[in-house]
Amino acid sequence: MKNPVLIIAYYWPPAGGPGVQRWLKFATYLGRYNFDVTVVIPENADYPVVDESLIAEVPDHISIIKVPINEPSRLASSLSRKRTKIFKKVYYLRMLDLYNAQ
């Protein structure tokens, strides 16, 4: 009987970089040593680096479960854009007040 192992990872192929390869190799070797590996990954991840060639390295014995997430980088980007718009409005209103005060 195989021992079950659950890995929850944000970075998984097709993402690229050393963090992806670390989890991929670890999961691959666990499968070779009588472990039943299941990896939970985001369905809609926004990876900064993509390496499609790593998908071919995922062994068939690894079960992949994709779950939808609220992407943290999208949220941060959205908040940053809103903050920038507010800053610009406040800046221009202050400049207008200074101009009108003259």
Could you tell me how many residues make up the chain? Answer: 102
Residues 102 and 62 in one domain: no
- pTM: predicted TM-score of the whole model, two decimal places: 0.68
Do residues 9 and 52 share a domain?
A: yes
The answer to whether the beta carbons of residues 60 and 36 sit under 8 Å apart is no
Same domain? 46 vs 94: no
Residues 96, 82 share a domain: yes
- Are the CB atoms for 44 and 69 separated by under 8 Å? yes
Residues in the chain where the model's pLDDT stays below 70: 72-93, 96, 98, 102
3-class secondary-structure state, position 24: helix
pLDDT of 80-99, one tens digit each? 666 666 666 666 667 767 67
* Number of domains comprising the chain: 2
For residues 35 and 52, membership in a common domain is answered with: yes
Beta bridge partners of 41: 66
